[in-house]
Amino acid sequence: MKNPNAGPMSFLGFFSLSLSGWLVLAFLVLPILIVLPLSFSDSRYMSLPINSLTLHWYQDFFGSTQWLGALFNSFSIAILSTVCAVVLGGLAALGLSHERLPGRRFIEVLLIAPMIVPAVIVGVGMYFVFSSLGLTRTFGGLVLAHTTLAVPFVVINVGSALSGLNQRLLWAAASMGATPWICLRKVTLPLIAPGLISGGLFAFATSLDEVVVTIFLAGPDQRTLPREMFTTARESLSPVLLAAATIMVLFATVLLVLSRHLTHRKENAV
């Protein structure tokens, strides 16, 4: 029997959807991809076409103590804030997994609020709170601020992993005499490990990319890579900015691929 949906109209619909998808993809990706070839251009101006290729801007980046210092600060803050976010966010997600927890929904909204509220508002609020505590212009204050921004991603990813956790495994372990600590260490943590790692990758990417809150809280010595890029774009617009942007894109791509790989592993395990 002939399919009534087959024919020119169905082909036209499929073609329209495909074309729309590719146009949206191009709109999202092209502004990022255009940075890659421009970072190898020998021109001191960020313009097309590219006459010849050079590694001069990358040499300037890796030969500058200011840029390397900013890169080191970014990674140091990102690593420490990721560790803190994974621990705090993981514990929070474990607590929120208990449906009898009083005010569970309200607590969950508060935990993910930094991801929803505009960064400028978060930055202003943190500035006044951290100023009263003496945490502005300190390395520890930046780590704490980035941890606050990263925790929601860990809570969401670990919460998703916990929602698919087979409770019968915990019951079986408890029936065999396992204590709550052993159940957590031997059963729960191995099963939610992909969620913890995925949340940690998102937390790391969030910290590495953060600039607004950093501008509010950081002192002269806490120059992160995004802050240095923002300052360069505002003051000199040096092509070294394109090299720094390309490095950031490469790091973000690696984190995205790793997160996607872990998501596929979790889906296959389920």
pLDDT of residue 123: 92
Confidence class for position 267, pLDDT limits 50, 70, 90: low
Question: pLDDT (tens digit, 9 = 90+) per residue, 127-171?
Answer: 999 999 989 999 999 999 999 999 999 999 888 888 877 777 777
- First CA to last CA distance, the chain: 38
Report if residue 24 sits inside a domain.
Answer: no
On whether residue 2 sits in a domain, the answer given is no
Name the phi and psi angles at 41, rounded to 5. -75, 145
CB–CB of 32/249 below 8 Å? yes
Q: Do residues 214 and 139 touch, judged by C-beta distance below 8 A?
A: no
Three-state SS annotation for 26-64: HHHHHHHHCHHHHCCECCCCCCCCCCCECCHHHHHHHCC
Q: Which amino acid appears at position 103 of this protein?
A: G
Provide the residue range defining the domain that includes 80: 69-269
pLDDT tier at 4, thresholds 50, 70, 90: low
Residue 25 placed within a domain: no
Cα 251 to Cα 68: distance, rounded to the nearest angstrom: 15
Gap between the Cα atoms of 135 and 19, Å rounded: 51
Mean pLDDT of 208-227: 89
Residue 246 CA to residue 252 CA, distance in Å, equals: 10
Summary mean pLDDT of the chain: 84
CA 92 – CA 148 distance, rounded (Å): 13
In a domain, 40, yes or no: no
Query: 227 lies in a domain?
Result: yes
Instruction: For tokens 């925790």, name the residue.
Output: 151
Q: Hey, how many other C-beta atoms are within 10 angstroms of the C-beta on 14?
A: 10
pLDDT at 1: 47
Question: Residue 2: exposed, middle, or buried by beta-carbon count in 10 A (0-12, 13-18, 19+)?
Answer: exposed
Whether residue 88 lies inside any domain: the answer is yes
- Provide the token pair at 51: 């006459």
Structural domain contains residue 16: no
**Cα separation, 44 vs 27, whole angstroms:** 26
Tell me the pLDDT tens digit for each residue of 56-110.
889 999 999 999 999 999 999 999 999 999 999 999 988 888 777 788 888 888 8
User: What is the CATH classification number for the domain harbouring 91?
Assistant: 1.10.3720.10
**Among candidate residues 119, 142, 258, the one with its CA nearest the CA of residue 200:** 258
Query: Is the distance from CB of 114 to CB of 81 less than 8 angstroms?
Result: no
Tokens of 95: 């607590």
* 200 vs 128: CA distance, rounded Å: 28
CA gap 33, 5 in Å, rounded: 38
What domain count does the chain have?
1
Q: CA of 167: how far to CAs of 98, 104, 125, 191, 219, in Å?
A: 12, 20, 40, 11, 48
In a domain, 220, yes or no: yes
Instruction: Give the total residue count for the chain.
Output: 270
Residue 33 or residue 215, greater confidence: 215
